[in-house]
A and B are shown apart, each in its own frame.
Chain A
Amino acid sequence: MKRAVNIAVVLLAVLAAALAAALLFGAEWATPFSTDAGERAILFDIRLPRVLLGACVGASLAVAGAGLQALLRNPLAEPYLLGVSNGAALGTMLAFVVFGNYVFARPLLAFAGAAIASMIVYSLARTRAGMNVERLVLSGVIVTTFLSSVIIMLTTLLDAARLRSFTFWLLGDLSQATWSGVYLSFGAAVIATIILTTQSRALNLMMLGERDAVDFGVEVGRVRLLVFGASSLVVGAAVAASGSVGYVGLIVPHLLRLAVGSDNRIVVPMSAIAGAAFVVLADLGARVAIAPRELPVGAVTALLGAPLFIYLLRKN
């Protein structure tokens, strides 16, 4: 417990530094003490919601990744790679096409899409003998590509101007951040982090094997439902706000495990803090790398994540 607090203090300091840097730096230098109206508008109306949304999305995806990895006994499990993010993306698009601008339709359908995609991947990957890593990854690929093609078909319904912003959004993009997106994403991240953390001791057993977990007292069905539910909730909220930012759920828990070991009581809640800092910094990179133009943040995280994925796959 004491160790968890120490790690939390360090990571919160990193997150605070990341948030400060992301607010100050960008295509324009801006400080909160400026009296210039334009600078203040950049800082508070554009940059602040974007940075905070990045933090919420990062926390969401990382904590979902940590929970799914332990549940599925697979360090390669990640919302984006499992197709969960694409399920949420399809839900968001359907909401956009069918329900237009009705505010709550998008996160709701995103959540439903994420939950359905999770269930499909899980049932495809599961055999009587249990789960195996390759089968899970393959199932994720199949679901991801299938959903991608449906999404592409839906984009043909959009006009050219929207198509560009949708393409960016699909890759994971924080530039459309709104305050309502921040609130929703923050709420979802907090709820899911709490749910997943309360299951983390059970996840320590699940991570070793489903039979072990049953034998030593875990109500496996309940844990599975809570983890899938919580991860679908955060991924749905994150994707509805910022599209499919990939690999965050892979990179962050992996680095944390290297640093602090595998105890999910530490890895799960700390993934939320570290994930927030990670996406904030990745988005800062996306804003300044080719300023004044911008990259979608998902491109930056994928550039970092794909090599790690290959490394982990080879190591296994």
Chain B
Amino acid sequence: MLEARDISVEYNGNAVLASASLKLSPGRIAAIVGANGAGKTSLIKALNGSVPVAKGEILLDGRSLASLSRAEIARNIAVVAQETESRFPVTVREFVLTGRFAYGSSFGWENERDIEAAERAIADCELKKFAARRMNDLSGGERQRVVLARALASEGRVLLLDEPTANLDLAHQTLMFRLVVERCAEHQYAAAIITHDLNLAAEFADEVVMLAKGRIAHMGSPAEVLTRANIREIFNVEVLLDTNPSSGKARVTQVY
């Protein structure tokens, strides 16, 4: 569905991402892990064309991203970015509705279809009782859910999430991942999630992409990638690996 072929991203001549190739496929979730500064966010930004690639190309359903308009990209790829704060009093409902921009013109009001999509996303993210509240009055975790709701409202079939669980409590981390898993399983969305939580990656991802110093160091199923040797190499920490008795998936425990 979304494919990066040998892409590089540069800021002022410095490569922050080099020769990365990966494929996001319908129904599958890729977890992107790596140390701070490894190029995770640059990869996500490149995947929806919000930063230009210096080399290589990105294909959305076989068409080069560079040939598509921003609106066309936005209708297909939804982004949950790291939280931004606005100084303007915007309500949750208004915020989520901005996710429908790509379906209209730069002026004009949302139609019933837009409102329906926004209300459904608000309900899915358990935000109904906040809908009329202002963003600035919400907690960081609540705002983070609103950002997810906006991405879901845009109905892009590729979800790119940049540390979506950073501000969330345990229950809402699970909700966030469950929503993404559901979208991928039932609606054949594809997702890439940046996370620092290796256990969440092991639990929910079909594929783990390990980045180090701007390169993809390891890529494959969680069992293949999340090994003691790889984690030591990338994060410079020792871990114990065993199996989560409830799900049967890999469990990572750090040794301090």
Also in contact, A201 and B106, with CB within 8 A (given A211-B81, A215-B81, A219-B69)? yes
Residue among B70, B95, B104 with most chain A CB within 10 A: B70
Using Cβ atoms and an 8 Å threshold, which residues of chain A touch B101? Answer: 201-202, 204-205, 216-218
A155 at the interface (CB under 8 A from B): no
Asked whether, in the complex, the Cβ of A201 is within 8 Å of the Cβ of B105, the reply is yes
- The 0/1 profile, CB within 8 Å of A marked 1, for residues 145-166 of chain B is 0000010001000000000000
Asked whether, in the complex, the Cβ of A261 is within 8 Å of the Cβ of B91, the reply is yes
Shortest Cβ distance from residue B246 to the other chain A in the assembled complex, whole angstroms: 36
Asked whether, in the complex, the Cβ of A202 is within 8 Å of the Cβ of B154, the reply is no
Asked whether, in the complex, the Cβ of B86 is within 8 Å of the Cβ of A209, the reply is yes
Asked whether, in the complex, the Cβ of A204 is within 8 Å of the Cβ of B48, the reply is no
A214 at the interface (CB under 8 A from B): yes
Asked whether, in the complex, the Cβ of A214 is within 8 Å of the Cβ of B98, the reply is no
B30 at the interface (CB under 8 A from A): no
Using Cβ atoms and an 8 Å threshold, which residues of chain B touch A209? Answer: 81, 84, 86
A-B residue pairs, 5 tightest by C-beta: A217-B74, A217-B102, A217-B71, A209-B84, A215-B79
User: What is B's interface to A at a CB cutoff of 8 Å?
Assistant: 11, 48, 50, 69-75, 78-79, 81, 84, 86-91, 94-95, 98-99, 101-102, 104-109, 150, 154
User: What is A's interface to B at a CB cutoff of 8 Å?
Assistant: 1, 70, 73-75, 128, 133, 197-202, 204-205, 207-209, 211-212, 214-220, 223, 257, 261-263, 265, 316
Can you pick out 28 interface pairs between chain A and chain B where the beta carbons lie within 8 Å of each other? A1-B109, A73-B87, A197-B107, A199-B107, A201-B106, A201-B107, A205-B98, A205-B101, A207-B90, A208-B90, A209-B86, A211-B81, A214-B50, A214-B70, A215-B48, A215-B81, A216-B74, A216-B79, A216-B99, A216-B101, A216-B102, A217-B69, A217-B72, A217-B101, A261-B89, A261-B91, A262-B90, A265-B109
Given pairs A211-B81, A262-B88, 4 additional interface contacts (CB within 8 A):
A199-B107, A201-B108, A215-B78, A262-B90
